[in-house]
Amino acid sequence: MSHIGNILVIDDEQVILDAIEKICGSENYNVEGSLDAKDALEKLEKKKFDLMLCDIMMPEIDGFKFLDEINHRKIETPVIMTTGYSTVENAVNSLYKGAIDFIPKPFTADELLNSVSRGMKYFEIQKRINESSKLNRDTALIYVPCPAKYYRLGYAAWVSVENKGTALIGITDLFLKTIDAVSDIQFFKIEEEIIQGISCLQITSADGLIHSVLAPVSGRIIEINEELSKNKTIIEKDPYFQGWLYRIIPHDLNYELKHLIPCSSDRI
């Protein structure tokens, strides 16, 4: 049986390499492990990978430096960050530096596989975009990028600042394209707090996988999109306007926006 994807795992703990290898191997991924970032960079030179899983806390070159190095070398393989030191800062920082996802340790086999499956989809989409742009086709046919005035955390969640001091939060079309059809959305309640970099929503897709969405900014939820909770398909039709998730009163928008990627930069 042929592999459905090549994954490079970088972690200084052998047991974690083994575990990921086993779990992903059972789903027919080909997994290679590196105990440090240097070894990983060497492996990347020899072989192309579809996805990377990288620990943050590592001796010598840590996960952030590794991300910088990847960007520097223009390696396009998407990276999912993991760390035992799962602080909000680490999560937000990883996503800001170009990682596509962040899985706090310890994680279950399902959490890992869900993230990996999204990562693989993401890689496929990137490949298709590259091919399309080579053929000068409109990439917007593949997914709709988020509006210019929006900000995004990683590629998954967006935030749009409203005039009254409130903000809207939603998920990107790209994220929706990396998962199967949405079958259920588990919202937080009104008045609950969401914190930047910490899960604020769970989406169950048609294939039964549960995907956590990390909140792009911190704040208090004052409104939940009722239309969306009644009709889940809205989010797929119009993820940026009608398909918003929460209206919140942000706690410290100016500070937190600095760690988000402005969507306007996607269009250059």
Partner 1 sequence: MFNKIGFKLIVAVGLTAIITIGVFAYFNIQRQSNALLAEVERHANQLSETVKSSTRYDMLLNQRDRIDKTIISIGSQTEIRNVRILNKQGEIIYSSHKEDVGKMVDKRAESCYACHEANRPLERLPINKRTRIYRIDPDSSRILGIISPIYNARSCWEAECHAHSKDKTILGVLDVTTTLADVDHEIKRGEIEIVIFALAAIIALSFIIGFLVRRWIDKPVNELLKATDQVGVGNLNYTIKDKGNDELGKLAGSFNVMTQKLSEARMQLFQSDKLASLGRLAAGVAHEINNPLTGVLTYSSFLLKRTQDNPELQEDLKVIVRETKRSREIVKSLLDFARQSVPKKNNVNINEVIEQAVSVVENQLTINHVKLERKLDQNLPQVIADANQIQQVFINLLVNANDAIGKGGGIITVSASSLSLSPYGVAQIKRAACPKRHDLVDNEFKIDGLPAIKLKAKFNGNEEIIHLDPVYGRRAHQYLKEVDENKKLNILCPQCNTSMNEENSKCPKCGSPLFSIPVPNESNFEACTRVGCDYQHWESVDEAGKKDYVEIKISDSGCGIPPEDVARIFEPFYSTKGQKGTGLGLAVIWGIIDNHNGTIKVESEMDHGTTFVIRLPLKQK
Q: Which residues bind partner 1 (CB under 8 A)?
A: 13, 15-16, 19-20, 22-23, 26, 57, 83-89, 105-110, 112, 191, 193, 195, 218, 220, 251-252, 255-256
**Cβ nearer to partner 1, comparing 143 with 246:** 246
Give least dist CB 12 to partner 1, A. 9
**Tokens, residue 41:** 């960079």
Determine the Cα–Cα distance for residues 30 and 96; give it in Å rounded to an integer. 28
**Cβ nearer to partner 1, comparing 56 with 176:** 56
Give least dist CB 22 to partner 1, A. 6
Determine the Cα–Cα distance for residues 9 and 21; give it in Å rounded to an integer. 8
Identify the bridge partners of residue 6 per DSSP, sorted by sequence position.
30
Give least dist CB 29 to partner 1, A. 13
In the block, residue with structure tokens 């903000």: 167
Determine the Cα–Cα distance for residues 47 and 6; give it in Å rounded to an integer. 9
Give least dist CB 251 to partner 1, A. 6
**Cβ nearer to partner 1, comparing 86 with 172:** 86
Give least dist CB 36 to partner 1, A. 15
**Cβ nearer to partner 1, comparing 108 with 133:** 108
Burial (CB < 10 A; 0-12, 13-18, 19+), residue 123, is buried
Q: How many CA atoms lie within 13 A of 109 on its CB side?
A: 9
**Tokens, residue 100:** 């596509």
Give least dist CB 27 to partner 1, A. 10
3-state secondary structure of 212: strand
The total of other beta-carbon atoms located within 10 Å of residue 140's CB is: 11
β-pairing verdict for 219-224 and 246-250: antiparallel
**Cβ nearer to partner 1, comparing 96 with 132:** 96
The one-letter code for the residue type at 165 is G
Rg of the Cα trace of the chain?
Answer: 18
**Cβ nearer to partner 1, comparing 20 with 176:** 20
